[in-house]
A = this chain, B = another copy of it.
Amino acid sequence: MKIVVLKFGGTSVGTIEKIKNVANLISLYKKKYKVIVVTSAMSRVTNNLISKSKKISDNFSDQEYDVLVSSGEQVACSLIAGRLIHKGFKSRSWLAWQIPIITDDLHKNAKIREINKIKIIKYLKTGGIPIIAGFQGMTREGKISTIGRGGSDASAIMLAKFFKAERCVIYTDVEGVFTTDPNKFSKAKKIREISYEEMLEMASLGAKVMQPVSIQDARLNRINIEVKSSFVKKSGTLITKRTNIINNKIITGISSTQNDAKVTLVGVKDKPGVAASIFKPLSKNLVNVDMVVQNISANGKETDLTFTIKKEDLSKTKKIILENRNINFRDLIFDKEVSKISIIGVGMITTPGVTFRMFQTLANKRINIQVISTSEIKISVLIDKKNIKKALTALHKEFKLDK
């Protein structure tokens, strides 16, 4: 039984006309595959329900939140099934409790633990197209759970895993993954194939196609994901394992951030334990520290410590540093006018000199590098926000992503 899992995001099912279009797309796969469909709620529905909950209580119950918001996917899956039936197919909606899809009991942010395959396999064998409500699950005690925002992707990946699907197609409102944000840079090109690892770096650095947690699930279970648009008939981006990719480019994509802020503590004592005394209270207060650099001490006594955080954590960070008497420094500087630009590609593992080419390219454009951080397949630099466009253009050209 060759199975494909098709997942439709909120914008793909945002109107009645779009749902009709989705039914047409599904019917095309039916010729070659046993099709399992997963759907999000119609766009805006979930936000509307969340806003209701906030008006009821500023501390709305997590359990009831799950009952409330899961209703959105229920509506979408019944409408898709209804449309397929109208077109003469055998179809029905499946809610998480009807399968069941079992999660842990962490309401609002549950993880899928188990999917009972029996009923769905039986249904597929009769020629039916199951339309499964994404984002929702059932706890072992029979309560409704949801698996966090963007959770329909996770539903799709887990269904693909449990049913050993040949492919998982994520239909969304973008054509695929691009070399860089196409809204900001017109020369951005669609990537045909990308490895899980590269996609993870792209996702966590700002390419909002899929949640990192879903890509990680796909990577662990070796599930081929195709991201494509439900509105245009074009092939999308295949996210797969490295060895499947024949790629002659060193760099696959470039990402940039908008919401970083830089913190510098000037004149910190240069002795063991100082960095820990700063980062421990931040971590305790859930402030995520990203890039860190400590200057070489000039006099052996004092040094400067610079790190980046998310902009929204700025005031919290300021408070923590100022109120903590164990942290001594001469001056505290905050800078919101920064952006992190990263080049990503598995090709750099086997290609020497990539770091140099990046730095040289930026130097040629007189762009100053403030902080550097690297991983096996990624090089990130912090630069002045006003230079993003210039940097993007130069790097995109240097690494031949324009072609």
A residues engaging B (CB < 8 A)? Answer: 16, 19-20, 49, 52-53, 55-57, 59-61, 63-65, 67-68, 70-72, 74-75, 77-79, 81-83, 85-86, 92-93, 95, 97-98, 142-144
Main secondary structure of the interface of A (DSSP, over half): helix
Interchain CB contact (< 8 A) of A74 among B71, B81, B142: B71
Residue of B nearest to A119 (CB): B142
Interchain CB contact (< 8 A) of A68 among B57, B65, B75: B75
Bound-state Cα–Cα, A59 to B86, Å? 7
Bound-state Cα–Cα, A169 to B108, Å? 34
Bound-state Cα–Cα, A72 to B72, Å? 10
Minimum distance in angstroms from A97 CB to a CB of chain B:
6
Minimum distance in angstroms from A116 CB to a CB of chain B:
12
Task: Chain B residues near A77: list those with CB within 8 A.
Answer: 67
Question: With A64-B93, A74-B67 given, is the CB distance from A82 to B55 under 8 Å?
Answer: no
Minimum distance in angstroms from A132 CB to a CB of chain B:
12
Residue of B nearest to A57 (CB): B86
Inter-chain contact A78/B67, CB cutoff 8 Å: yes
Interchain CB contact (< 8 A) of A53 among B61, B65, B79: B79
Minimum distance in angstroms from A371 CB to a CB of chain B:
45
Bound-state Cα–Cα, A75 to B19, Å? 22
Bound-state Cα–Cα, A60 to B57, Å? 37
Question: With A61-B85, A63-B92, A81-B64 given, is the CB distance from A56 to B97 under 8 Å?
Answer: no
Task: Chain B residues near A144: list those with CB within 8 A.
Answer: 95
Task: Chain B residues near A52: list those with CB within 8 A.
Answer: 16, 75, 79
Minimum distance in angstroms from A258 CB to a CB of chain B:
34
Task: Chain B residues near A64: list those with CB within 8 A.
Answer: 78-79, 81-82, 85, 92-93
Residue of B nearest to A67 (CB): B78
Interchain CB contact (< 8 A) of A98 among B20, B79, B142: B142
Residue of B nearest to A74 (CB): B71
Given contacts A64-B81, A65-B82, 16 further A-B contacts (CB under 8 A): A16-B55, A20-B56, A53-B82, A56-B83, A59-B86, A61-B82, A61-B85, A64-B85, A64-B92, A64-B93, A67-B77, A67-B93, A68-B74, A70-B74, A71-B72, A98-B142
Selected A-B contacts with CB under 8 Å, 7 pairs: A19-B56, A53-B82, A57-B83, A67-B77, A68-B78, A68-B79, A71-B74
Residue of B nearest to A70 (CB): B74
